[in-house]
Amino acid sequence: MFTSIKRIFKSGWQSFFRDGGLAAATVFILVLAISLATSLFLFRGLSQFLISSLKEKADISVYFKEEVPEIDILEVREELAKVPEVKEIKYVSREKALADFIQRHKDNPVLMASLEKVGRNPFLASLNIMASDVGQYQTIANFFEKLAFENLVEKVNYYQRKPVIERIFSLTSTINQAFLFLSVILAVVAILVTFNTIRLAIYNSGEEIKIQRLVGASNWFIRGPFLVQGAISGILAALICLLVFSLIIWGLSPKIEIFFPGLNIFQFFVSNFWQITLIQFATGILLGVISSTIATRRYLKV
């Protein structure tokens, strides 16, 4: 048994290097297939970042009257935190609102001059509220329509923000659906292209397989070297992909961060390095072995 396995591996290794042109074509196709799988994983990370960034913009603000003391606002926040639909609450004091405004518009002399003319802090303290789902903001808005808050709340901007919030959640849903559709299409294309390429490579060995069958070789002994070739092709393709993606992501990461501030794609790659490596090697080896298994089946039928 051990001797047969040794012969199978030796034959597969020799065949891989003997058919250099076909082996190179198979590795190239597997590189493309593994690149698709890796790109889908990275795209998934990018889409999750975009969805998270968009959802952070989907919130409503409750503004309190100028004379309301901070302790009362914090009590309202504690009461609001008990509402199941609320995901996150952020308190912004009048001083913080003023400081944020100055920081954002410090290079705008017109706005800065207008602020100086006012002569006081015109901003109101507020609670910025984020819900888990777009349909839950109406419930949160209704929470502040109670009589108990009539003397505290100046304005709830839900109805002004409602179209924007609905558009954001619609966009995030579209991104998820697009990712799923793209994943299925690219996976099918990768499998079909890889299978047909390996089948073409095995086609050239059709006569050799028939001769082996005539002399009584078992299906396992005939198929084994092709499985080894498929595995070698997958491993080599995965190594090439790992090197290429490492260099590309390292070079493109600073440029991507310009368009998506806060998104460090190289850091994402490094933190998920072993998972990406596993995806690449698993994709390469499985595609190579499974495609070889299917492609040799027609020659092994009795």
Q: What is the pLDDT of residues 247-258, one digit of tens each?
A: 888 888 787 777
pLDDT of 145 strictly over 70: yes
pLDDT of 16 strictly over 70: no
Which H or E run includes 90?
strand 86-92
Amino acid 62: pLDDT: 86
Q: Write down the mean pLDDT value for the chain.
A: 76
Which H or E run includes 32?
helix 20-57
Q: What CATH number corresponds to the domain at position 99?
A: 3.30.70.3040
Q: Cα–Cα distance between 279 and 40 in angstroms, integer?
A: 11
More confident residue, 58 or 125: 125
State whether 47 and 145 are in the same domain. no
State whether 200 and 123 are in the same domain. no
State whether 182 and 296 are in the same domain. yes
Quick one: average pLDDT of 150-179? 74
Model confidence pLDDT, tens digit, residues 193-239: 667 766 666 666 666 666 666 666 666 666 677 777 777 878 888 89
State whether 222 and 292 are in the same domain. yes
| This model's pTM is above 0.95 | no
Model confidence pLDDT, tens digit, residues 250-281: 888 787 777 666 667 788 888 888 888 888 88
Q: Count of CB atoms within 10 A of residue 238's CB?
A: 26
CA distance to 113, 142, 245, 264, 279, per residue, from 240 (Å): 59, 57, 9, 23, 14
Q: Which of 125, 151, 177 is the C-terminal boundary of a domain?
A: 151
- Identify the three-state secondary structure at position 28: helix
pLDDT of 14 strictly over 70: no
Amino acid 232: pLDDT: 80
Q: Cα–Cα distance between 64 and 127 in angstroms, integer?
A: 8
Q: Which of 123, 151, 179 is the C-terminal boundary of a domain?
A: 151
Amino acid 10: pLDDT: 66
State whether 87 and 142 are in the same domain. yes
State whether 191 and 263 are in the same domain. yes
pLDDT of 125 strictly over 50: yes
Residue where the block lists tokens 């190179």 = 24
Q: Cα–Cα distance between 159 and 164 in angstroms, integer?
A: 10
Q: Are 49 and 87 in contact (CB under 8 A)?
A: no
Quick one: average pLDDT of 101-127? 81
State whether 197 and 257 are in the same domain. yes
Q: For residue 162, tell me if it sits in a domain.
A: no
Q: Cα–Cα distance between 244 and 250 in angstroms, integer?
A: 10
Quick one: average pLDDT of 118-122? 79
Q: For residue 59, tell me if it sits in a domain.
A: no
Q: Cα–Cα distance between 95 and 181 in angstroms, integer?
A: 47
Amino acid 123: pLDDT: 85
| Domain interval for residue 42 | 2-54+169-300
Q: For residue 36, tell me if it sits in a domain.
A: yes
Quick one: average pLDDT of 100-118? 80
Amino acid 249: pLDDT: 85
- How many Cα atoms occupy the beta-carbon half-sphere of 299 within 13 Å? 27
- Strand 60-64 versus strand 126-131 pairing type: antiparallel
State whether 22 and 102 are in the same domain. no
- How many Cα atoms occupy the beta-carbon half-sphere of 252 within 13 Å? 12
How many folded domains does the chain comprise?
A: 2
Q: Are 54 and 164 in contact (CB under 8 A)?
A: no
pLDDT of 287 strictly over 80: no
Q: Which of 92, 118, 151 is the C-terminal boundary of a domain?
A: 151
Tokens of 159: 């109805």
Confidence grade of residue 302 (pLDDT, cut at 50, 70, 90)? very low
Q: For residue 157, tell me if it sits in a domain.
A: no
Amino acid 216: pLDDT: 62
Q: Which of 18-27, 112-121, 207-216 has the lowest mean pLDDT?
A: 207-216
Q: Cα–Cα distance between 99 and 97 in angstroms, integer?
A: 6
220 alpha carbon, distance to own chain's centre: 40
State whether 195 and 267 are in the same domain. yes
**Closest to 195 measured CA to CA, from 126, 288, 282:** 288
Q: For residue 46, tell me if it sits in a domain.
A: yes
Model confidence pLDDT, tens digit, residues 48-97: 776 666 666 667 888 888 888 888 888 888 888 888 878 888 888 888 88
Q: Count of CB atoms within 10 A of residue 268's CB?
A: 19
Amino acid 218: pLDDT: 62
Q: What is the DSSP letter of 61?
A: E
Model confidence pLDDT, tens digit, residues 57-68: 667 888 888 888
Per-residue buried b or exposed e for 209-230, using 16+ beta carbons within 10 Å of the residue's own CB? beebbeeeeeeeebbbbbbbbb
Q: Count of CB atoms within 10 A of residue 240's CB?
A: 18
Q: Are 299 and 209 in contact (CB under 8 A)?
A: yes
